[in-house]
Chain A
Amino acid sequence: MREIEFDVVVKAVKNMIMHCGTDLPQDTYMALEEAMEAEKSPVSKEVIRQILENADIAKDEKRPLCQDTGLAVFFVNVGEEVRINGGLLRDAINKGTEEGYTEGYLRASTCEPFSRANLKDTLGYNLPAIIHFDIVLGDKIDIEYAAKGGGSENVSRARVFPPAAGKDGIVEYVKEVISDAGGNPCPPITVGVGIGGTFEKACISSKHALFRDLETTNEDPEMAELEARMLHEINNLGIGAMGMGGTKTALAVHIESNPCHIASLPVSVNVQCHSSRHTHITI
Chain B
Amino acid sequence: MATYTLTTPLTAEDTKQLVAGDTVLLNGTIFTARDAAHSRLVALIEAGEELPFDLEGSIIYFVGPTPPKPGDPIGSAGPTTSYRMDSFSPTMLKNGSKGMIGKGKRNQAVKDACVEYDGIYFGATGGAGALLGKQIRSAEVIAYPELGPEAVRKITVEDFPVTVVNDTKGNDIYQIGRAKYEVKA
Complexed CA–CA distance, A50 and B184 (Å): 29
Which residues from chain B contact A69 at a C-beta distance below 8 Å? 66
How distant is B162 from chain A, measured CB to nearest CB, in Å? Answer: 11
Which residues from chain A contact B103 at a C-beta distance below 8 Å? 151, 183-184, 186, 242
Total A-B pairs, Cβ < 8 A:
168
Taking a contact as CB atoms under 8 Å apart, the answer to whether A236 and B130 are in contact is no
Taking a contact as CB atoms under 8 Å apart, the answer to whether A43 and B81 are in contact is no
Interface residues on A, range: 35 or more
Taking a contact as CB atoms under 8 Å apart, the answer to whether A245 and B178 are in contact is yes
Given contacts A43-B1, A69-B66, A184-B103, contact A239 B127 (CB under 8 A): no
Which residues from chain B contact A275 at a C-beta distance below 8 Å? 127
Taking a contact as CB atoms under 8 Å apart, the answer to whether B176 and A64 are in contact is no
Question: Considering only CB atoms, which chain A residue lies closest to B105 in the complex?
Answer: A182
Could you list 28 examples of A-B contacts with CB < 8 Å?
A: A41-B181, A43-B177, A44-B177, A46-B23, A54-B125, A54-B130, A57-B131, A58-B129, A58-B130, A63-B69, A63-B129, A65-B129, A66-B76, A66-B128, A67-B75, A67-B129, A68-B80, A182-B174, A182-B178, A184-B104, A236-B183, A238-B181, A242-B125, A243-B105, A244-B173, A245-B174, A245-B180, A246-B177
Which residues from chain A contact B161 at a C-beta distance below 8 Å? 50
Question: Considering only CB atoms, which chain A residue lies closest to B132 in the complex?
Answer: A54
Complexed CA–CA distance, A238 and B183 (Å): 7
B2 at the interface (CB under 8 A from A): no
**A58-B76, A66-B129, A69-B66 are known contacts; what are 14 more A-B pairs with Cβ within 8 Å?**
A54-B125, A57-B131, A62-B69, A67-B65, A68-B129, A105-B66, A149-B127, A184-B81, A186-B126, A239-B178, A242-B125, A242-B126, A246-B177, A273-B126
Which residues from chain A contact B183 at a C-beta distance below 8 Å? 236, 238
Complexed CA–CA distance, A240 and B57 (Å): 31
B119 at the interface (CB under 8 A from A): no
Interface string of A21-58 (1 = CB under 8 A from B): 01000000000000000001111101100110110011
Complexed CA–CA distance, A79 and B150 (Å): 42
Question: Considering only CB atoms, which chain B residue lies closest to A39 in the complex?
Answer: B181
Q: Quick one: which of B65, B75, B81, B148 contacts A151, CB cutoff 8 A?
A: B81
Name the interface residues of A225-283: CB closer than 8 Å to any CB of B: 236-240, 242-247, 273-275
A15 at the interface (CB under 8 A from B): no
Taking a contact as CB atoms under 8 Å apart, the answer to whether B105 and A183 are in contact is yes
Which residues from chain B contact A47 at a C-beta distance below 8 Å? 125, 163
Taking a contact as CB atoms under 8 Å apart, the answer to whether B127 and A245 are in contact is no
How distant is B4 from chain A, measured CB to nearest CB, in Å? Answer: 15
Taking a contact as CB atoms under 8 Å apart, the answer to whether A64 and B80 are in contact is no
A16 at the interface (CB under 8 A from B): no
Q: Quick one: which of A65, A240, A244 contacts B127, CB cutoff 8 A?
A: A65
Complexed CA–CA distance, A54 and B126 (Å): 11
Complexed CA–CA distance, A73 and B107 (Å): 32
Question: Considering only CB atoms, which chain B residue lies closest to A236 in the complex?
Answer: B183
How distant is A71 from chain B, measured CB to nearest CB, in Å? Answer: 15
B18 at the interface (CB under 8 A from A): no
B47 at the interface (CB under 8 A from A): no
Complexed CA–CA distance, A164 and B137 (Å): 58
A154 at the interface (CB under 8 A from B): yes
Taking a contact as CB atoms under 8 Å apart, the answer to whether B128 and A238 are in contact is no
Which residues from chain A contact B145 at a C-beta distance below 8 Å? none
Complexed CA–CA distance, A35 and B130 (Å): 21
Complexed CA–CA distance, A50 and B127 (Å): 10
B64 at the interface (CB under 8 A from A): yes
